[in-house]
Amino acid sequence: MMKYEHLLGIPFKHGVDDCYTLLQRFYADNFGVTLSEYARPSKWWDQGMDLYMANAYEEGFRGVDCHPSKWQPGDVFLIAVGARVACHAAINLGDGTILHHYTDRLSERITYGGIWRNMTLGVFRHKDVKPKAADMKQMDLMDLLPANKRGR
């Protein structure tokens, strides 16, 4: 069960209480993962900076290349809203909802769809956040052999 109720309803203040600080707090509270602090000037995405992608790997995030049904709570959606680069992050809570903190709004839990889904550039998972046992698929090694060699 993810803890996030205490992160709802926070007023937006760029660099202090924004989508990245929400991500930092969520990961610390739920996974014990500390994400670094980065100086981020106002509208950095319009100044030739790509802070999320420039720092994602170093912070432990890896791209997730799977069907949306395999996305896990805690996966991060990097979103380009009115920008050419990802300038917004949202956290998958499961059940089709995200936790995010968008400019001039209170932090909130909403349905993942519309502009948020349409402008998503990538889905990322932290290397230290392990998949749930229910998501682990067992493989029968016989399935790797050609049908005529399986001996069934």
- Is 66 a residue of the active site? no
**Cα gap 18→22, rounded to integer Å:** 6
Tokens encoding 111: 């349905």
Nearest partner of 73 among 47, 91, 51, judged by Cα: 91
User: For residues 6 and 112, what is the distance between their CA atoms, to the nearest angstrom?
Assistant: 20
Q: Which helix (H) or strand (E) holds 92?
A: strand 88-94
Asked about 6 being catalytic, the answer comes back as no
Among the listed residues 6, 14, 66, 100, the single catalytic one is: 100
Of 57, 54, 60, 61, nearest to 39 by C-alpha is 54
- Give me the catalytic one of 6, 66, 87, 88: 88
**Does 14 participate in catalysis according to the annotation?**
no
Torsion of CA 107, 111, 115, 120, to 10 degrees: 90
Among 19, 87, 101, 126, the active-site one is 19
Which positions are annotated as active-site residues? 19, 88, 100
